[in-house]
């Protein structure tokens, strides 16, 4: 079987039967930056895996206009996991941050694999666990640390290949989007960036925060965790 041009890493260790069924059941779809194409109704019928680009999901307080980004999905990420598992609408908002190419699968087909394919479960449930751990970390950091401390941690996680949802996340991400990841607002984030820059820990450019003293940043992060 000739593999599609959208072959994904998730299927590297599955058997040929599941791989063939997976590709036969899916189709590639594309969405432009700035669109919000994923409605609650759509996500009750379709499941998506990101092939290219970035898609964020977030909540917003319409009285204050404050946003909290929950996830920024990139290659290999799947959504909506909650609707997949409980068959209920998930009231979150999606936005395409970068032109995106996704795999679209019938959600009932994915549920069938969960019930009948140990190989699929071996791929799917570790991913689900990583989502749960990410949300636990997000709740902890927003509750216990200030914006500068959260930024320091995020900058280090951005370099850590073990951090599935944060590794290489900040590439081409605006300060506005970074602030929403941290549960803050842009002017507070930019003040924190300035303090780190004044301390010689980071350098900044257009949509880019570069660590200039990794050792000192690691030391600052360690002190934060010991507080």
Q: What is the pLDDT of residues 133-169, one digit of tens each?
A: 999 999 999 998 999 999 999 999 999 988 888 988 9
CA dihedral 34, 52, 93, 156 (to 10 degrees): -100
- The pLDDT score that the predictor gives to residue 227 is 59
| Single pTM value for the model | 0.88
pLDDT at 1: 41
- The pLDDT of residue 222: 83
Closest CA to 78 of 117, 24, 114, 118: 114
What pairing do the DSSP bridges indicate for beta strands 66-73 and 202-205? unpaired
Instruction: Name the DSSP class of 184.
Output: S
Dig out the tokens for 80 from the structure: 């909506």
The phi-psi region of residue 121 (left if phi > 0; otherwise alpha if psi is between -120 and 50; otherwise beta) is: alpha
Regions of the chain with pLDDT less than 70 = 1-7, 13, 224-227
Q: What is the pLDDT of residue 31?
A: 97
Helix (H) or strand (E) holding 55: strand 46-61
pLDDT of residue 17: 80
């Amino acid at each position: 079987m000739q593999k599609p041009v959208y072959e994904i890493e998730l299927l590297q260790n599955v058997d040929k039967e599941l791989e063939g069924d997976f590709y036969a059941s899916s189709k590639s779809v594309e969405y432009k930056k700035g669109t919000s194409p994923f409605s609650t109704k759509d996500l009750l019928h379709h499941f998506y895996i990101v092939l290219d680009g970035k898609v964020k999901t977030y909540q917003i307080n319409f009285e204050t206009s404050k946003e909290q980004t929950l996830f920024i999905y990139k290659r290999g990420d799947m959504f909506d996991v909650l609707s997949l598992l409980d068959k209920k609408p998930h009231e979150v908002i999606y936005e395409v941050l970068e032109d995106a190419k996704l795999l679209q699968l019938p959600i009932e087909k994915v549920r069938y694999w969960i019930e009948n394919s140990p190989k699929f479960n071996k791929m799917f449930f570790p991913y689900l666990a990583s989502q749960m751990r990410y949300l636990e970390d997000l709740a902890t950091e927003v509750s216990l640390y200030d914006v500068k401390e959260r930024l320091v941690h995020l900058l280090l996680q951005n370099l850590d290949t073990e951090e599935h949802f944060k590794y290489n996340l900040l590439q081409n991400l605006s300060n506005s989007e970074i602030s929403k990841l941290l549960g803050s607002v842009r002017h507070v984030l930019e003040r924190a960036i300035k303090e780190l820059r004044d301390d010689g820990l980071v350098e900044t450019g257009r949509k880019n925060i570069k660590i200039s003293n990794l050792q000192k940043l690691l030391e600052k992060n360690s002190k934060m965790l010991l507080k």
